[in-house]
Amino acid sequence: MSFTVAIIGRPNVGKSTLFNRLVGKRLALVDDTPGVTRDRREGEARIGSLKFKVIDTAGLEEAFDDSLEGRMRRQTEMALEEADVALMIFDARAGVTPMDKHFAGWLRKTEKPVILCANKCEGRIAETEMMEAYSLGLGDPIALSAEHGEGIGELFDALLPFEVEQVPDVAAKDRPLALAIVGRPNAGKSTLVNHLIGEERLLTGPEAGVTRDSISVEWEFEGQKIKLVDTAGIRRRSRVQKKLEKLSVADSLRVIKLAEVVVLVIDADVSFEKQDLTIAAHVIEEGRGLVVAVNKWDTVRDRNAMLQHIRDKLQISLPQVRGVPVVTLSALTGRGLEKLLPQVIRVYELWNKRISTSQLNRWLEHMLEKHPPPMAKGRRLKVRYITQVKSRPPTFSLFMSSRGELPESYLRYLINGLREDFDMPAVPIRIATRTGKNPYVKE
């Protein structure tokens, strides 16, 4: 299962009914008598294409001793600790009770994302009580009828961001790292590949454009399998006239799309041109990790000035990916080559990085205090919580109120904070905002 959901609420609000609905079987006993469920029960749930583990819990009681109720409460706390997200259920027909408010306050203090669900909303009999749910401070409620299966589609939408990318349980070194070598013509890409693998595998020469097809080479570095792909040089589109070169460039762009980390080879003799930045921007746009290799370094006279020039260009032209590693080397002599692959592997690890939801929400609280979101329609935008939905590259969902959209400048502030606080240079970071919509507000 890709993530875990805990169903939480006071006794007799329909938690076990919802549990049975999600797992598609009558695994949990259901009765009108409060307190039927005592132990936490786990099952494999499914809503459409979404699969996850769900935990049914005992009804929350205000008991903190060693009584039966106190022990049941501890079981619920353990379930919440295990879960990635909690569903807080309340009975919409009974309305919001003081006990609901008490436990909503307890959930707000935890670090878990919470989705508020108003159960027993058959038809429209509980519309008035639904509005009262906003007093719980858990955002927009989802109207459900666990018994009749109503509102499950809305629950699917709310749970979808928690689906994580399923990665086979295989050690990273057992999976080849897809590494593409790209750059302008005659930058020394094929010479670099030949020196890396220790043989004259690729044709090289002083003429520009010797490589036409993308050539793949299986290779290994310190136990890490690597699939190296040398590509044809990419010139500015206005200069590409011949049909064969157009095909070669298109193939190189395809290789970037299929790669995991891309090494952009720059010719130190001609410095850092606009075309280099265009290729780098394309790599980032495709969501790949980036390493810059400055070739022919042995021919450079003022090395400090050249290195500073390259780093300044990257900083100004690619602000969305700070900290791109710059490795200086000579593909012809092999000098400096030993620094390249360690940087590639480090960027690959960052590209696969995962951050727990609890860490992210502690970080988000700090970022919101330091710089609150802007105003929209006279009211401040409310950001509720954040979770990482996938890696390769790191991608996050930011849940917020429905009053307006966060401006790009604020999203950049959050992305830069993620990059700095969680040490994620050189890889793209993506944040998608999600807003809950109140169905009872007329537009």
Give the per-residue pLDDT at 215: 60
Residue-level pLDDT at 382: 82
Q: What is the DSSP string of 259-307?
A: -SEEEEEEEGGG---HHHHHHHHHHHHTT-EEEEEEE-GGG-SSHHHHH
Q: Bridge-partner residues for 14, per DSSP?
A: none
Provide φ and ψ at 73, rounded to 5°. -65, -40
Calpha distance 293→326 (Å, rounded) = 6
Rounded to whole angstroms, how far apart are CA atoms 237 and 349? Answer: 33
Give bridge partners of residue 7 from the DSSP assignment: 56, 87
Cα separation of 89 and 69, whole Å?
19
- What is d(CA 54, CA 41) in angstroms, rounded to the nearest whole number? 8
Which tokens go with 327?
């490795």
Nearest to 394 by CA among 419, 430, 341: 430
Adjacent-strand bridge partners of 142:
117
- Write down the residue that tokens 């952009």 correspond to: 264
Residues 102 and 136: beta-carbon distance below 8 Å: no
DSSP, collapsed to helix, strand or coil, labels residue 143 as strand
Q: Are 79 and 19 spatial neighbours (Cβ–Cβ below 8 Å)?
A: no
CA 118 from chain centre, in angstroms, equals 29
Which contiguous run of DSSP H or E holds residue 363? helix 357-370
Q: Which two tokens stand for residue 283?
A: 């790599």
pLDDT digits (tens, 9 = 90+) for 14-46: 888 899 889 886 654 444 444 434 346 788 888
Give yes or no for a contact between 285 and 178, defined as CB atoms under 8 angstroms apart. no
Per-residue pLDDT of the chain (443 residues; tens, 9 = 90+): 478 898 888 888 888 889 988 988 665 444 444 443 434 678 888 888 788 988 888 766 554 444 445 455 567 777 788 888 889 999 888 888 888 888 888 888 887 888 999 988 876 655 666 677 878 888 788 888 888 888 888 888 888 878 754 444 344 446 789 898 888 887 787 788 777 776 544 334 343 443 434 466 777 888 888 888 777 666 554 444 444 345 555 666 777 888 899 999 998 887 677 888 888 888 998 899 999 999 989 888 888 988 888 888 888 888 777 889 999 999 888 888 899 999 999 999 999 998 887 788 889 989 999 998 887 766 778 887 888 888 889 999 888 766 667 888 999 999 999 999 999 988 999 998 876 554 434 44
Q: Report how far residue 303's alpha carbon sits from residue 307's, in angstroms, rounded to the nearest whole number.
A: 6
End-to-end CA distance of the chain: 38
Query: How far apart (Å, rounded) are the C-alpha atoms in residues 89 and 62?
Result: 17
CB–CB of 185/207 below 8 Å? Answer: no
Strand partners, 215: 230
- Burial state string for 43-71 with b = 16 or more CB within 10 A and e = fewer than 16: bebebeebebbbbbbbbbbeeeeeeebee
Which of left, alpha, beta for 75 (phi over 0: left; psi -120 to 50: alpha)? alpha
